Amino acid sequence: MLGKLDWSAIPFDQPIPLVAGAVVLVAILAVLIWVVVRGHLPYLWHEWITSVDHKRIGVMYILLASVMLLRGGSDAIMMRIQQAVAYQSQGYLPPEHYNQIFSAHGTIMIFFVAMPFVIGLMNLVVPLQLGVRDVAFPTLNSVGFWLTATGALLVNISLVVGEFARTGWLAFPPLSGLSYSPGVGVDYYAWSLQISGVGTLVAGINLVTTVLKLRTRGMNYLRMPMFCWTTLASNLLIVSAFPILTATLAMLLLDRYLGFHFFTNEAGGNVMMFMNLIWAWGHPEVYILVLPAFGIFSEVVSTFSGKALFGYRSMVLATMAICVVSFMVWLHHFFTMGAGPDVNAIFGIASMIIAIPTGVKIYNWLFTMYGGRIRFATPMLWSVGFMVTFIIGGLTGVLVAVPPADFMLHNSMFLVAHFHNVIIGGVLFGAFAGFEYWFPKAFGFRLDERWGKAAFWFTFTGFWITFMPLYIAGMLGMTRRLQHYDVAAWRPWMIVAAFGMAVLSIGVICQIMQLVVSIRNREALRDRTGDPWDGRSLEWATSSPPPVFNFAFHPDVRGEDAYWDMKARAQQQSFEHDVPEYQDIEMPRNSPTGFVCAFFASIMGFALIWHIWWMVILGGIGAFATFVVFAWRDHDEYVIPAEEVARIDRVNLEERRSLVSMAGAV
């Protein structure tokens, strides 16, 4: 009846996951009770859960990423403490638990923190920057988000029901095969990634189509803000790389469920094929994450230097070059696995070549700052911190791209330090910069600068104290994923790293405090004009938060930095002589399709993990029925009458006029 599921799935003998699970459960219940008792449920349902508004979906993506960042961060803290104490002892985490923790940490941080964070920012900002009212496929967008949330849910369920994979975040066979991992851990891993992978693919298709087909009048390709370009590149990578992940995990699952022989040791299976396939997805994945971050830095650096981005066209070229070359370097993840010197040399050179467009970007940002009037607001701090940090990560990357050096450093703590250096220093700093930069746009008030700056400095120093020692430990020969060790020389560096983790955690607490303080002081921090940073691109041309239709009129774009142009022209001519004629606007209706679909996907995923076949069929039928019901509805749009559009738009127009005339007077 319930497949493999019974009471032995609950780890009653392990207090850590049980207590953690209980705390989370209580927290969720408390929030739910609060929502229901205070009567917020209808609001949540109508305005958020069923929303197909790209801004709302973007915010929900970022919320999901933030919550999962805390989960993945807790895993990180546990690992740092374990390695600080587990010198010549077992530490406090048993091996099978420790292995689950590092696997969950990697999986969560990449798939459920970094991915939703950048996809959320792209969702929130890109249609605004393009000057349009929505993304290409609003309801699919909602489906994509909720499927991502389903994946995150399944990973978290594994904490208390059953176990998570003990295989590392990419589940290499034969370890992840049925003979070496007979439990449900790998199944949790694979099914949650399959489901959230569908969500990511949907988001990718949606954003590619949005950028290529939905741009306002005059928004030629070479007038798009840099963030739109990097979004395009990143999502092109999503649609071409994520199907590889889907296929690879499908093969692994077929091996595990139906006795196939893709990656087994027996009957002619080929383990190296898994390595090639998973990294043919895995390396582009790195650029899927970091390219949007590059776009964010471009926007931030240009805005806070008060200058147009230096070398815009070279930046576009560099972005697309990275997009293409990122597909030609995957083998550098396994130089040591016997491809031979010629193949290794070619992939080593290709990997080093990627440093060239990346270097172009760094110089472009530096030259954008050169001669500018730089304002060191929090987003700018994250950007400058990124440049300093990312350079080191990039250089160590070039180092491990040299095959002979890689033979020394492969799977060492040096590698761990390297990829944290680029992912934290690049993606996470970028996500935080974007968060600080666009928060006023999303919510209509700025974030508190004092707490923001404190968060930056603690995170920044904490990062350096945590990860520089790992480089050294790697040089001293420490391999990754060690549950305990006997080498005295490593110990001091592990203790320093644990101390750094504490500093990093203070940064996280500051970030939370910043949110709390800002929400409390939101009236004082209110952004009335919609342009709190003296911005340059179109998202600042509408109010904060933008109305559901984003723009009363599709803006007419005449060059790069569209909004900067508009402001400049508006100071010369006055606004007075152009009296806009408002028209009715059609917007897509909200739909619970995404939520319902994800509900059935969750049931199906859980049932597949535990081999509860009747429930799998039920979930499948439910998901199909949801689509049919969606396809059957007769009214998928509603009309906002012109008077309503006018009323909403005039308020913001007044504020903006007074701002421009004030600036003109100065």
Interface residues with another protein (CB under 8 A) are 132, 136-137, 201, 204-206, 208-209, 212-223, 239-244, 246-248, 250-251, 254, 258-262, 264, 266-270, 273, 277, 541, 553-560, 566, 569-570, 573, 575, 578, 580, 624, 628, 631-632, 634, 636, 653, 656
Residue 453 or 528 with smaller CB distance to another protein:
528
* Rounded distance between C-alpha atoms, residue 235 and residue 158, angstroms: 30
Burial-class residue 387 by CB neighbours within 10 Å (0-12, 13-18, 19+): middle
CB of 240 to another protein, least distance (A): 6
- Mention every residue, 6+ apart, whose C-beta is less than 8 A from residue 22: none
Q: Which amino acid is at 66?
A: S
Task: Give the containing element (helix H, strand E) for 585.
Answer: strand 585-588
Q: 468 in helix, strand or coil?
A: helix
End-to-end Cα spacing for the chain:
76
Q: 165 in helix, strand or coil?
A: coil
Residue 132 or 433 with smaller CB distance to another protein:
132
Within 10 Å of residue 276's Cβ, how many Cβ atoms? 17
Angle, in degrees to the nearest 10, between helices 115-130 and 271-305: 50
Within 10 Å of residue 38's Cβ, how many Cβ atoms? 9
CB of 208 to another protein, least distance (A): 5
* Rounded distance between C-alpha atoms, residue 185 and residue 426, angstroms: 30
CB of 54 to another protein, least distance (A): 14
Q: Which candidate, 437, 433, 361, 372, places its Cα nearest to that of 394?
A: 361
State how far the alpha carbon of 50 is from the alpha carbons of 78, 146, 167, 185, 588, in Å. 37, 10, 36, 32, 12
Task: Give me the sign of the Cα torsion angle 616, 618, 619, 620.
Answer: positive
Residue 201 or 597 with smaller CB distance to another protein:
201
CB of 551 to another protein, least distance (A): 9
CB of 268 to another protein, least distance (A): 3
Residue 531: φ, ψ to 5°: -135, 65
**What is the secondary structure of 155-218 as a DSSP string?**
HHHTTTSS---SSTTTT-TTTTSTTT--SSHHHHHHHHHHHHHHHHHHHHHHHHHHHHH---TT
Residue 195 or 205 with smaller CB distance to another protein:
205
Would you give the DSSP letter of residue 123? H
CB of 131 to another protein, least distance (A): 9
CB of 531 to another protein, least distance (A): 11
- ∠ Cα 614 615 616 (to 5°): 90
CB of 280 to another protein, least distance (A): 8
State how far the alpha carbon of 596 is from the alpha carbons of 363, 603, 627, in Å. 47, 11, 10
CB of 665 to another protein, least distance (A): 18
* Rounded distance between C-alpha atoms, residue 477 and residue 413, angstroms: 8
CB of 320 to another protein, least distance (A): 17
What is the residue whose two structure tokens read 């791209």? 401
